[in-house]
Amino acid sequence: MRVYADNAATTYLSKTAMDVMVECLEKFNGNPNSLHTDGQLTQEKLDESREIIADCINAKNPNEIYFTSGGSEADNQALLSAARGLKGKGKKHLITLNIEHHAILHTMRKLEGEGFEVTYLVPQANGIVSVEDVKNAIREDTALVSIMFANNEMGAIQPIAEIGAICKEKGVLFHTDAVQAAAHVPIDVQAMNIDMLSMSGHKFHGPKGVGVFYARNGIRLVNVIEGGAQERGKRAGTINVPAIAAMAAALKEGCDNMDKNMAHVSAMRDRLIEKLSDIPYSQLNGDPVKRLPGNVNYSFEGVEGESLLLALDNYGICCSSGSACTSESLDPSHVLTGIGVPIEAAHGSLRFSLGEDITEEEVDYIAEKVHKVVQLYRNMSPYWEDLETGKRQHCIAE
Ligand SMILES: *Cc1c(COP(=O)(O)O)cnc(C)c1O
């Protein structure tokens, strides 16, 4: 059996998105900026995509949608726009979370180097920031609050509407990285008072390398990519219409089927959580209820997440671990340690991110194999032996 449970890393292109993409590659090859018929036909496809996307997040006007190369670029543009655009007005303070994606954290670091001051709020143990903390962090010179809609590692969903209301009341710009949320949970930029928002096609069954930067009209934007006058002068470069149209189709598909998908995927998530909960000295990370429908992040004491991941891969299960050895460093996830998960527990964590087509059989298969590999690696682990013999203290309750 093969089970793809790494949808938070990337999703597979949906059939709908692929069909749209192929159709566009065949039929719409003009440059949307050209005045001839070929160009104008492509421009129409682009306008249609912008409308579909605006509609999915309830943006007031399709011209508030800008196309980018992905979520990272949208995050960069949001932060740079707010910071540099408001610096002249004496606003040099920014607020974010310590558990944001690196596209936010690294951009914040860059802005610190330019003289901005950044407050990194620490969420509660369940991964959710206290609205009071956000309110108290806002100062006279705060330019922007950037708080992710949902966390990519442990799935916690932030109180976005409440934070939006506070920012509106205090006259502070509010950006949210909604890359994990878009097409998975409801988003309404007007009702939630979201000024800027980031999305990425490949996190909801669209293509990779394409994303959306939503910015409410009236916000001064700074370019990340300079050049031609595409995207109303705010993002240069010839537009990739097939990828954009496919992304719009994928987003629409996700939004049209949202209720059904949320009910099914969260039931499968809870089934997996339930089945993992009888592994001793293990814990669920992130809020059990206010979390993404497909996210299961679990820590198992005394084992390495990486080893478990590779063992599960041998059983055809694709998931991800909370220790980032393969990617950047040997440090455990900044997200898990950022919400107070002990380092030992963070090292032994796995993230399963379930897709819409996940079945009960697949969930049961994952659970069975996780039980097996955790047992296997614990039996081989000197660290686990120390825990068993009392030489070391457990950090997770039995
Ligand atoms: C994947 C992801 C990004 C980056 O999006 P790309 O399109 O891959 O650049 C940003 N933020 C979050 C929360 C993500 O999960």
Return d(Cα 188, Cα 258) in angstroms, integer. Answer: 14
Whether 325 is catalytic is yes
What's the pLDDT tens digit per position in 336-346?
999 999 999 99
Predicted TM-score (pTM) of this structure? 0.97
- Domains of the chain, each with CATH number or no CATH: 15-256 (3.40.640.10), 258-388 (3.90.1150.10)
> For 208-233, what is the mean pLDDT?
96
Q: Which of 24, 167, 318, 325 is catalytic?
A: 325
* Residue 96, φ and ψ in degrees, nearest 5: -150, -170
What's the pLDDT tens digit per position in 132-182?
999 999 999 999 999 999 999 999 999 999 999 999 999 999 999 999 999
For ligand 1, pick from 151, 203, 210 the residue to mutate: most ligand atoms within 8 Å of CB: 203
Q: Do residues 223 and 28 touch, judged by C-beta distance below 8 A?
A: no
383: alpha, beta or left? (left if phi > 0; alpha if psi -120 to 50): alpha
CA neighbor of 225 nearest in space, from 236, 214, 215, 233:
236
- Residue 398's pLDDT is 87
Instruction: List the structure tokens of 180.
Output: 């994990």
**Residues at CB less than 6 angstroms from ligand 1:** 70-72, 75, 101, 103, 148, 152, 177, 179-180, 200, 203, 211
Confidence of residue 114 (pLDDT cuts 50, 70, 90): very high
CA dist 184 to 6, 178, 179, 352, Å?
Answer: 15, 10, 10, 15
Q: Do residues 134 and 145 touch, judged by C-beta distance below 8 A?
A: yes
- Residue 323's pLDDT is 59
Q: Within 13 Å of residue 245, how many CA atoms lie on the same side as its CB?
A: 25
Q: HEC states along 186-234?
A: CCCCCCCCCCEEEEEHHHCCCCCCCEEEEECCCCCCCCCCCCCCCHHHC
